[in-house]
Structure 1
Amino acid sequence: MTRIALVTGGNRGIGRAAADALADDGTDVILTYRANRDEAEEVAGKLAARGRTAAALPLDLTRPATFPGFAEQLRALLRNRWETDRFDILVNNAGFDKLTPFGRTTTDDIDALYAVHVRGPILLTELLAPMIRDGGRILFTSSGLTRYAANPAYSVYAAMKGAIEVYTKYAAKVLGARAVTVNALAPGATATDFAGGVIRDDEKYRAMVTANHASGRVGEPEDIGNAVRIVTAEAASWITAQRIEASGGQSL
């Protein structure tokens, strides 16, 4: 039976790399997007051109009242495309960065980061968990910033990721009886559009990061996509409740 993955924020960056890596592994992919429908449809089309069944659905993690409607859309899509009411892998990837320099953090900053990185993924996961097949996989995206303190302006962002790492353990305990694994993947500095693309585009910033890096380079989206594929593989059934860092040895 072909496995089916749902990747939130799968239209760009790490989410797109995860969708590509899962497709390479023979997994069909449903990806979500918040605003850029054309980009998401393009990604789904490229996955389909590679022989996978793929689709894109809109999802705004800041609006939990819309989650039941999203779940109904997902059920209908699963029935129409795959003749099933279940899927196998949930990758909670959607997110954004926001700088919160110490002493200048606002209530709106905290609320925005919380909505997307904590409240949204938790509520969505608990709503969709009954649709995940026994033996399935749930993966939250965390950050290397929960281990090493880099720019203090990422303090609140990192704190939200720390919260989701804790939640991962509790969800793993609840879902273990169904052989559903729950883990958190923590990427290190990766060359995406995160933080305005500074890691990808600013050579001086890249040099600063790699100066204290075992691998001597920053990560590429494909590095993280491959890590997603490994942690969500059928063979990874005995790995659960873990924070797994994919940083190439950053800040050791």
Structure 2
Amino acid sequence: MNSQQNEHPSVVVVTGASAGIGRSAAVEIARRGSGVIATYHSRPEGAEETVALIEELGGRAHALRLDVGDTATFPAFHDAVRDLLASEWGADSIDALVNNAGFGGGRSFEEMTEEAFDDYYRVLLRGPYFLTRSLLPLLAPGGAILSVSSSSVRPGDTEPGYSGYAGMKAGLITASRFLARELGERGIRVNTIAPGPTRTRLGGDAFEKYPEIIAPLAAKTVLGRIGEPEDIGRVIAFLVSPEAAWITGQDIQVSGGYAL
């Protein structure tokens, strides 16, 4: 049944939904019948493309700007989400939050500066942590929180230059596991997923600019290719759906067997 016809519409917030994994997650979530609030930072045109794709499926979506690295903006974002829920869906809660917004890693330890380290922290750890807290009053009992981690955290995928990036993603995984315990009393599930190398715009469109890096990454992947955004988006859509109602506190590898 289309969520627009339900007495209590299902709506999901997906951050960083203007391209890549976030866009794919938003579309797959909408394909399952939920409304989507798709956030963007600097590419409103990308978010509107995501909204258009969802509308082509017969779904409903709206774009909102969000700087996940600026926690001072979160109260206003909470109010914008609350108002949009009421005006567009006649709802007062969201069913899930997908913390996807971020940026790629790749800075050696010797080149790491405090400013760069703080950027990793603000966007990859502090941002999703406090955005979750800000939107928690809007999250329905029995809802879901899904944050995107990284395969770079697991043993075997320790490429040079990712200590700052992977450190924050490891913190996000640990915090999410503890939140699963703390929010479980409300029936809220909290999980993370860890994509491997995936064809997205991260890293300055690295896969587009440097296609020669694809074959070595595919060679390290059991299934013989790099990931596509749709590979990750389908898993996100599943994990925030009622079908995954018995999964919480997990970091799930979605990497095609990268670095096994």
TM range (shorter): over 0.9
Once structures 1 and 2 are overlaid, which stretch shifts more, 191-200 or 238-247?
A: 191-200
Counterpart in the other structure of 2:91: 84
Matched, 1:43 2:57: no
1:212 is displaced (CA, Å) by 1.9
Quote how far apart the aligned CAs of 1:201 are.
Answer: 5.2
Match of 1:62?
A: 69
**Which of 95, 101, 112 is residue 108 of structure 2 equivalent to?**
101
- Describe the SS at the equivalent of 1:152: coil
Give the TM-score, by structure 1 length.
0.96
**Counterpart contact for 1:172–1:181, Cα < 8 Å:** yes
Show the counterpart of 2:214: 206
Ranges in structure 2 where 5+ consecutive residues have no aligned partner? 1-5
Compute the displacement of 1:200 (Å). 5.0
- Greater shift in the superposed pair: 201-210 or 77-86: 201-210
Q: Confirm or deny that 1:196 pairs with 2:204.
A: yes
Q: Which residue in the other structure is 1:245 paired with?
A: 253
Identity %: 40
Q: How many residues align?
A: 252
CA distance in 2, matches of 1:73, 1:113: 26
1:50 Cα deviation from its structure 2 partner: 1.7
**8 A Cα contact 1:200 1:206, kept in partner:** no
* Equivalent residue, structure 2, for 1:25: 32
Superposed structure 1 runs of 4+ greater than 6 Å apart: none
Superposed displacement of residue 29, structure 1:
0.6
Q: Is the 8 A contact 1:190 1:200 kept in 2?
A: no
Separation (CA, whole Å) in 1 of partners of 2:69 and 2:109 = 25
Deviation of 1:11 after TM superposition, in Å, equals: 0.8
Contact 2:27–2:53, Cα closer than 8 Å, also in 1: no
The residue aligned with 2:177 is 169
Per the normalisation by structure 2, the TM-score is: 0.93
Amino acid at match of 1:216: G
Q: 2:80 aligns with which of 69, 73, 81?
A: 73
Secondary structure class of the residue paired with 2:13: strand
Q: Which piece of structure 1 moves more, 35-44 or 19-28?
A: 35-44
Counterpart amino acid of 1:151? E
Secondary structure of residue in 2 paired with 1:224: helix
Q: Residues of 1 paired with 2:213 and 2:161: CA distance? A: 15
Decide whether the 8 Å contact of 1:98 with 1:109 is kept in 2: no
